[in-house]
Amino acid sequence: MMHRVVIIGSGFGGLFAAQALRKAPVEITLVAKTTHHLFQPLLYQVATGILSPGEIAPATREILRHQKNARVLLGEVTEFDLAAKTVTAVVPSGEYSVEYDSLIIAVGASQSYFGNDHFAQFAPGMKSIDDALELRGRIFSSFELAELSDDATEIDRLMTFVIVGAGPTGVEMAGQIAELAHRTLVSDFRKINTRATRVILLDAAPAMLGNFGKRLSDKAKLQLERLGVEVRLGAKVVGIDHKGLDIKESDNTPHRIEASCKIWAAGVMANPLTKTIAAQSGAQLDSVGRILVEPDCSLPGHPEIFVIGDMMALNHLPSVAQVAIQGGRHSAKQIIKRLKGDQSRTPFEYKDKGSMVTVSRFYAIASVGKIRTAGIGAWLIWLGVHITYMIGFKHRVTTLLHWAVSFVGTGRAERVITEQQVIARSAIERLGDRVPNPYNANKDLE
């Protein structure tokens, strides 16, 4: 019988592992709870109307259509039986199990509200296409409602956008909302002056983009301020509600900001599935819930299971796309090596290819090898890297066209918002188990 490899997750780790096994004598089953491969670094551009969801989330089965040793199954994995070597997944129509000889787990991370999960309904995070579309709905709706209001205080509230978390995602989001308000939308409204929009970027830490060093971080801050973003560091969010948020400055002074649209870009924690795996295997978790793996990325006591990407804790590696991509390729190589009879375990060696953040059109900061640069040069590096890692020729072409529309021109081609995007998640959460199941008439509402 052919060696069965089950891969969980179609993100950077899972997809690159599957592709690295394309010539191997294995039968691959890739199980993921979404039908697409999501390019998370560009989610903020979906949220701000630059790109369409399809451009950053091509269908996984389309990507793997020519790889005959791989099949793709929809399913949210909920259980493992490490002794029987099975994985159980649920879908709206029921559940199923798959058996494995080797298992690669790459289910990524979730948003962390640092114990304040009730903040989520007022300040959504950005981890999925649903999140990005909901945020797009909230951002564009705020301007629409402001145009309709006659109350100056309410208009100010609607035109105040607060982004919590001054890491790469927060910085990119703040820059894009500022460009949207101060550049793209200026001629579109008759009553409101979108140039008066306030974009506030908050962080409890005293510095932003700490990993880039002080010089680049200061340059990014200056560029944001040039765009009209208010950067408030040392400001901790202590409360969020429908109308705004409460913060405590570094000297403990309380402060209130009235804002309709709040975006959470502050924290990340490992996928809850790590707890299930730890409970069965006895593996240890780090402070953000990632699994401490062996040097070859395998689960302690289970050399046949690899845990990679954002859910893996190894040598203090960051939770970034390259760690997941290289982890996926590394685990594929280990499986191929073992099938050839070599049971040695090669430690994972991460090659840091650098990091970059776009602040605005034509302005990024980049730290690649010894190069530390800011401005248009860094932006061109950013452009090249993102186009290279996007999947599919046609997605690259349409993305470049959309970028031309937004960065060379002043437009945003993807401004569609629907009622469902804005309100559906809250409605579904409120209904809980009472949501009718359209896929399975037998399991419908009682």
Minimum Å distance from CB 291 to ligand FAD?
A: 12
Q: Which two tokens stand for residue 446?
A: 């009682």
Q: Is 58 in the site for ligand FAD (CB under 6 A)?
A: no
The answer for residues whose C-beta is within 8 angstroms of residue 62's C-beta and 6 or more apart is 392
175 binds ligand FAD (CB under 6 A): no
Least Å from the CB of residue 107 to ligand FAD: 4
* 274 touching ligand FAD, by CB under 6 A: no
Q: Is 5 in the site for ligand FAD (CB under 6 A)?
A: no
Smaller CB separation from ligand FAD, 157 or 330? 330
The answer to whether residues 390 and 63 touch, using CB atoms and an 8 Å cutoff, is no
Closest CB to ligand FAD among residues 7, 146: 7
DSSP annotation of 442 reads G
Number of H helices, E strands in the chain: 13, 23
Token digits of residue 262: 């709040």
Is the CB of 40 or the CB of 406 nearer to ligand FAD? 40
302-307 and 261-264 strand pairing: unpaired
Alpha-helical segments (H) within 159-256? 168-179, 213-226
Residue 168 within binding range of ligand FAD, rule CB under 6 A: yes
429 is catalytic: no
Measured CA to CA, the distance from residue 76 to residue 95 in angstroms comes to 9
If the CB atoms of residues 194 and 399 are measured against ligand FAD, the closer one turns out to be 399
Q: Please report, as residue ranges, which positions from 98 to 127 form the binding site for ligand FAD (by CB under 6 A).
A: 106-108, 126-127
Distance CA 446, CA 106 (A): 36
Residue 293 sits in the site that holds ligand FAD (CB under 6 A): no
Q: Which is nearer to ligand FAD, 91 or 145 (CB)?
A: 91
Nearest CA to 70 out of 36, 104, 19, 35 is that of 19
Residue type, 272: P
286 binds ligand FAD (CB under 6 A): no
Asked whether position 41 contacts ligand FAD by CB under 6 A, the answer is yes
- Picking from 166, 127, 162, 164, the residue whose alpha carbon sits closest to that of residue 43 is 127
Restricted to residues 301-320, the positions that interact with ligand FAD (CB under 6 A) are 309-310, 319-320
| % helix, strand, coil for the chain, step of 5 | 40, 25, 35
Q: Which two tokens stand for residue 152?
A: 């100056």
Which of 77/192 has CB closer to ligand FAD?
77
Q: How far is the C-alpha of 197 from the C-alpha of 408, rounded, in Å?
A: 22
x/- letters, 225..264, toward ligand FAD (CB under 6 A): ----------------------------------------
Binding mask 66-85 for ligand FAD (x = CB under 6 A): ----------xx--------
Q: Given candidates 273, 332, 335, 390, which one binds ligand FAD under the rule CB under 6 A?
A: 273
Rounded distance between C-alpha atoms, residue 53 and residue 130, angstroms: 9
Q: How far is the CB of 423 from ligand FAD (least distance, A)?
A: 22
Q: Does 220 bind ligand FAD (CB under 6 A)?
A: no
| For ligand FAD, the closer CB: 89 or 192 | 89
Find the shortest distance in angstroms from Cβ 83 to ligand FAD.
20
Please answer whether residues 387 and 396 qualify as being in contact, where contact means their C-beta atoms are separated by less than 8 angstroms. Answer: yes
Annotated catalytic residue, options 134, 172, 179, 294: 172
Q: How many residues bind ligand FAD (CB under 6 A)?
A: 32
Q: How far apart are CA 375 and CA 354, in angstroms?
A: 16
User: What is the bridge-based pairing of β-strands 94-99 and 86-91?
Assistant: antiparallel
Q: DSSP letters of 391-417? A: SSHHHHHHHHHHHIIIIISS--S----
Would you count residue 277 as binding ligand FAD (CB under 6 A)?
Answer: no
167 binds ligand FAD (CB under 6 A): no
Please pick, from the candidates 139, 159, 178, 321, the single residue that binds ligand FAD as defined by CB under 6 A: 321
Closest alpha carbon to 10 in 43, 32, 29: 32
Please give the Cα distance from 24 to 36 (Å, whole number). Answer: 23
- Selected from 7, 10, 51, 113, the binder of ligand FAD by CB under 6 A is 10
64 binds ligand FAD (CB under 6 A): no
Positions touching ligand FAD (CB under 6 A) are 8-14, 31-34, 40-41, 43, 76-77, 106-108, 126-127, 168-169, 271, 273, 309-310, 319-322, 324
Task: Please give the positions annotated as active site.
Answer: 172
